[in-house]
Each structure stands twice: as C-alpha cells, then as structure tokens.
C-alpha cells in the first residue's frame, strides 16, 4: 500500500486510480491495505488515496530485536568512509565475510547503472554476484530472483525493484551502498534481513555525495511548468471528452509516456480533467472460420453486430488485420466500448482472434476552456526533500538507532535497543578484526591488460554485428566509466539516450573507476599491448570524408584470450 502514498504521486500515478475500480462494481468490496512501514502521515495518505471509509488501523511495532543496525560514515572508528573508493572497499570487505560464511546478502543501490557496475566489479573480484533492477528483461529478473530464493546465488546487487514478494528467511545482511531517499525505504529494505529470527545486519555505507542521486530524483519529480502549461493549453483546444493517443502525444511534446502520465495526474489532481478507463485505439483481428460460423458462434445479442462487421471488414480472413476501433465503431454506429466487448466475446467463443496492442486515455475536461493553470505538483518534491533531511539526521544523530526509528514512525521511542552501533559501538561483528589491509584494491584483482583484450574483442564482435566499433580512446573512457567525456558533445534527445544505453551495456563499463592508477598509466598498458603485438590498429569510416582508428586483436592477442591465462602485467 506504500505505492499509493509514495510512488503514486512521484512516478506511478496509475496506483492512484485504484478507487475507480470500486465505483464500477455492483457492490463495494472489503478493502485492506498492508505495509511494513508507515508513519501516521503516510497512514492517512494511504487511507485517503484508497478512499477507505472509517478504516480500522492495526499497527505493530517496527522493532526487530534480531536486526543489528550499523552505519559506516566518515566518523566510523574502524572503517571510515571518506571517499567513494573507501565505500567500495568497505563493501568488498562485507562481501568477503558473507562469502566466507556462505551467508546471503542484498546490496541496495539507487540506480540501475550502479547495480550493473557493482555486480560486475564483484564478479571480477571472484564473487558470485548478480544485478537485479526494473530495466532488466523479465525472464532475467525472474532467473536472478529464483536463484537467490533457492540458495544458488548468495549476493544480489539491486534497486528497490527487488523487494516486494521476496520473503527469504535467512538473509543475513542488507547493505545500503547508496543512501535511500527516505526512512520508510530504509526500514522496509533492512527489514528483509533476519526473518528467521536469527541475528542479521542492516548496514548503511554512507557517503554524502550519494545524496546527489536522491536530489536528482527529487528534481525529476518536480513538475515541468512549461510542459504542464503546453499540455493544458492543448487539452483546452480539444473537445470536452475525447481519447488521447499516448504515442502521438509523446512525439508531439518530445516526452516519454511516464512524463505524460505524471502530467495528466497533476492536471487531474488540480481538478482540471478526469481520466477514465483506458480504451483500445488499435488492434489486430483474425477471423478463424467462415462468416456464417462466426455469426452462429456469437452470442445472440451480438449476431447483428457481426453481420455489420462483415460488411465493414470484407477482406478479414486468416491473416491478422489491423483495425482502428474508433473508426470501425463509427462505421457500425455503435460505441467503441461496445464494439470491443463484442470482439472479446467472439475471441472467447473461438471464432476470431482479437489482440489489442495500442491503448489510449479517456480524457474528460472538467474546467472551462479559458481556465488558467493553477500551481500544482510542488508539494511532492517538498515532502521528498524533508524526508532526505530526516535520513541525514538519522545518520548523524547519537541516540539509539531503533529509538530514532520508533519515534519517526509514531511509536513511543521506549528503551535503547542495546544492539545497534550507537548503543554498543565495541560489540563483535562478523567483520570485526578485519582491516583495510585485508581488502584488495581493485588493481589487485583486475588484470588490466587482459581486460583490455577482452574489451577489444567485445568491440570487434559489436562491429561484426553491424554497429560502428568504438575508437580506442572511447574504450579507455568506457573502462573508466567517464560518461561526461563520452557524452559532452552529444545533443540531448533519443539519439543521446541510445548512445548512453549502448555505452553502459558494455560488460566492462566503469570497471577501472576506483583504480589507484591514473588514466595515463592505463593508456600506457594499451600502448604496450600494441608494441608487443597483442593488438593492432584498424580504420573505420566515420562519414564520407573522414575515418578514425580503433583497436583489433592480432593472432597473438586472440590466442592469448583463448588460453584463458592472465597476462599479469604490473
């Protein structure tokens, strides 16, 4: 139910139309809303968002005695985090401990990019880690989830997409590599550890720069005033009730569909429009028998419509035919929703195959065509800023972690827990006794020369598949994860997003980001690979007038890669 109060207003407005379902049922059903962590304010917001009537509120304590809360920050006595490199080294230390004890660990990060990068880094370091995030293919996400639940995979680097529906009892560690945006998310996610009642650890690796990620998300949640104004003026020029075509509208305003849905939600929240159920715009229809058979197989009250459909679609046969629902409905002289209901009936009866594939939004303009746009949407960003400040206070305050959480969630703070890092700073942890010297630097387990050969091989394969190979300088920047240098001359838009996706899809993106070595030293290894005939230079066409250099493997380089042996250059 947290989705209604937190995700709905920011990036999942579809959650907020759930109450419309009630009004379309013959009888309002009983409604229950469940969430693991809700402040009194969020409880009220959930009740309001779901239009609950005099709800009975049952609240249990957020306290989990078996869960030890620990924060590593710049003031930590034994493992301070003063840089991003420190942060990664602390993570590798924890992963080493978990791996040695064969214990399960979730590592939460703020972005899909960070999930892919950390999983790749841990794999290079010899740990069986996998990424999990909402942009992965569904099948791949399902595979990672199943492997983790079955105990065949012990380390998952994930965004908040990994959580709902996950109930693995023996997770021993939940590590927040990036600071979450609010204490609700923090409590929800650390609460996935130790559900078997055994001691578990919720660990936050806090570096102040990570707040910039959350600040970016907050800025993204702020409404685009110009876009709101433009879309509202456009809606004012339409009829009172009409069907909005999302794809065409997104192209018209150069936005994605999420931005469109959020804008429409804000206009609806302001009382300017009302969005009804989605309607089908385009669909594929296939006839699976003779027209007589289709008519005979249709419900009696649909047979007249089927005869008119035959007249409107005389060429419909065994091959799928694209239809525009509104156009066909107009020809037949019936409402579009009635036509769709009839086609569904025919599909259920087995006499045709109906596959809708493009939906539109049913929009009713409530305000008059001359109504000015009122201020809307800023309150969500303001609340998120306050929540980010609260989690910073949680990191820095000196009192018991559990007391602070209980107070935040509206409980009596009670007595100190005696087990968190504030109550018992000298207690023994699984990583106690480990020092920075026990953690290898990335340079110690990443063979740069071999990694370059692998990257050159990936680039060659990419070229053989029809894409332009990257130049040698670009490959160096890919290894360093230097997105600024790679994107600074690319104009914003679909093409720049495509380039960004391609760069990040490289399995070696950013693996050298935390190396102690400079870019010059990394380039020197590339020069040595050329001098010792592991790679050579080829030329690719940039346009009709220019070419550029890129690296390819020599026979010696390919043999080296196939051997599986590391070059081991210092």
91-130 pLDDT, tens digit each:
999 999 999 999 999 999 998 888 888 887 888 777 888 9
Whether the predicted pLDDT of 414 surpasses 90: yes
Task: Report the 10 Å Cβ neighbour count for 332.
Answer: 18
9-66 pLDDT, tens digit each:
555 667 777 888 887 888 999 999 998 888 888 899 899 888 999 999 998 899 999 9
Instruction: Please report which confidence band the pLDDT of residue 570 belongs to, taking 50, 70 and 90 as the band edges.
Output: low
273-307 pLDDT, tens digit each:
988 878 899 999 999 988 988 888 888 888 888 88
- Work out the average pLDDT over 318-334: 90
pTM score of the predicted model: 0.69
C-alpha atoms less than 13 angstroms from C-alpha of 193 in its C-beta half-sphere: 29
Average pLDDT of the chain is 86
Q: Look at the block and give the residue holding tokens 């009250």.
A: 301
**Residues contacting 283, CB < 8 A, separation 6+:** 322, 323, 325, 343, 354, 355, 356, 357, 358
**Residues contacting 112, CB < 8 A, separation 6+:** 131, 133, 134, 135, 159
Write out the two tokens for 190. 């650390």
Instruction: Please report which confidence band the pLDDT of residue 430 belongs to, taking 50, 70 and 90 as the band edges.
Output: very high
- Work out the average pLDDT over 332-339: 86
Q: DSSP secondary structure string, 383-405?
A: HHHHHHHHHHHHHH--S-HHHHH
- Work out the average pLDDT over 490-514: 75
Instruction: Please report which confidence band the pLDDT of residue 516 belongs to, taking 50, 70 and 90 as the band edges.
Output: low
Q: How confident is the model at residue 164, as a pLDDT?
A: 63
Q: Is 435 helix (H, G, I), strand (E, B) or coil?
A: coil
Q: How confident is the model at residue 485, as a pLDDT?
A: 77
469-482 pLDDT, tens digit each:
888 888 888 887 77
Helix axis angle, 246-253 to 225-236, nearest 10°: 130
Instruction: Please report which confidence band the pLDDT of residue 442 belongs to, taking 50, 70 and 90 as the band edges.
Output: low
- Work out the average pLDDT over 433-438: 74
Q: How confident is the model at residue 213, as a pLDDT?
A: 86
Q: Look at the block and give the residue holding tokens 């935040």.
A: 408
Q: How confident is the model at residue 8, as a pLDDT?
A: 61
Q: How confident is the model at residue 65, as a pLDDT?
A: 93
**Contacts by 101-105, CB closer than 8 A, 24 or more apart:** 101/172, 101/430, 102/154, 103/154, 103/170, 103/172, 103/173, 104/148, 104/151, 104/154, 104/155, 104/168, 104/170, 104/171, 104/172, 104/173, 105/154, 105/155, 105/156, 105/171, 105/172, 105/173, 105/174, 105/175
Q: Regarding predicted confidence, which is higher, 42 or 177?
A: 177
- Work out the average pLDDT over 371-399: 86
Is residue 420 within 8 Å of 401, Cβ to Cβ?
Answer: yes
Whether the predicted pLDDT of 429 surpasses 90: yes
The burial of 479, by beta-carbon neighbours within 10 Å (0-12 exposed, 13-18 middle, 19 or more buried), is given as buried
- Work out the average pLDDT over 141-156: 91
């Amino acid at each position: 139910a947290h989705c209604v109060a937190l995700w709905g207003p920011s990036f999942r407005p579809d959650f907020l139309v759930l109450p419309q379902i009630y009004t379309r049922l013959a009888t309002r059903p009983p409604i229950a809303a469940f969430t693991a962590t809700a402040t009194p304010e969020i409880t009220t917001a959930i009740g309001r968002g779901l239009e609950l009537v005099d709800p009975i509120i049952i609240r249990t304590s957020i306290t989990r005695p078996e869960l030890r809360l620990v924060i590593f920050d710049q003031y930590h006595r034994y493992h301070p985090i003063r840089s991003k490199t420190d942060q990664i080294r602390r993570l590798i230390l924890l992963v080493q401990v978990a791996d040695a004890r064969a214990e399960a660990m979730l590592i939460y990060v703020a972005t899909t990019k960070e999930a892919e990068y950390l999983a790749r880094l841990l794999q290079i370091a010899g740990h069986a880690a996998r990424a999990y995030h909402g942009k992965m293919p569904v099948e791949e996400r399902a595979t990672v989830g199943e492997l983790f639940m079955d105990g065949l995979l012990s380390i998952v680097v994930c965004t908040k997409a990994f959580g709902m529906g996950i109930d693995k009892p023996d997770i021993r560690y939940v590590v927040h590599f990036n600071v979450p945006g609010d204490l609700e998310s923090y409590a929800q996610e650390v609460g996935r550890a130790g559900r078997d009642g055994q001691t578990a650890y919720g660990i936050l690796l806090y570096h102040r720069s990570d707040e910039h990620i959350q600040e970016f998300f907050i800025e993204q949640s702020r409404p685009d005033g110009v876009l709101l104004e433009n879309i509202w003026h456009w809606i004012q020029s339409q009829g009172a009730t009409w069907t909005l075509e999302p794809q065409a509208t997104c192209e018209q305003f150069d936005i994605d569909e999420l931005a469109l849905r959020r804008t429409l939600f804000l206009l609806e929240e302001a009382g300017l429009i009302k969005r009804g159920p989605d309607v089908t715009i385009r669909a594929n229809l296939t006839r699976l028998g003779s027209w007589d058979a289709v008519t005979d197989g249709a419900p009696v009250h649909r047979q007249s419509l089927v005869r008119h459909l035959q007249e409107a679609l005389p060429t419909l046969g065994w091959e799928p035919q694209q239809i525009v629902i509104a156009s066909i409905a107009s020809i037949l002289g019936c409402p579009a929703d009635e036509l769709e209901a009839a086609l569904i009936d025919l599909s259920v009866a087995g006499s045709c195959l109906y596959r809708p594939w493009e939906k539109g939004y049913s929009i009713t303009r409530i305000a008059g065509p001359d109504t000015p746009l009122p201020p809307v949407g800023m309150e969500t960003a303001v609340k998120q800023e306050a929540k980010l400040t609260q989690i910073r206070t949680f990191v820095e305050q000196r009192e018991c972690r559990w007391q602070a959480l209980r107070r935040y969630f509206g409980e009596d703070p009670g007595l100190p827990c005696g087990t968190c890092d504030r109550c018992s700073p000298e207690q023994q942890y699984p990583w106690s006794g480990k020092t920075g010297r026990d953690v290898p630097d990335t340079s110690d387990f990443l063979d740069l020369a071999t990694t370059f050969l692998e990257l050159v091989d990936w680039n060659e394969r990419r070229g053989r598949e029809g894409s332009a190979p990257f130049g040698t300088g670009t490959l160096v920047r890919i290894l360093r994860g230097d997105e600024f240098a790679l994107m600074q001359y690319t104009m914003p838009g679909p093409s720049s997003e495509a380039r960004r996706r391609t760069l990040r899809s490289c399995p070696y993106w950013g693996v050298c980001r935390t190396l102690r070595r400079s870019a010059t030293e990394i380039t020197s290894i590339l020069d040595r690979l050329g001098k010792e005939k592991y790679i050579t230079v080829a030329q690719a066409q940039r346009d009709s007038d220019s070419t550029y250099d890129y690296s390819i493997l020599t026979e010696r380089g390919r043999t080296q890669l196939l051997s599986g042996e590391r070059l081991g250059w210092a």
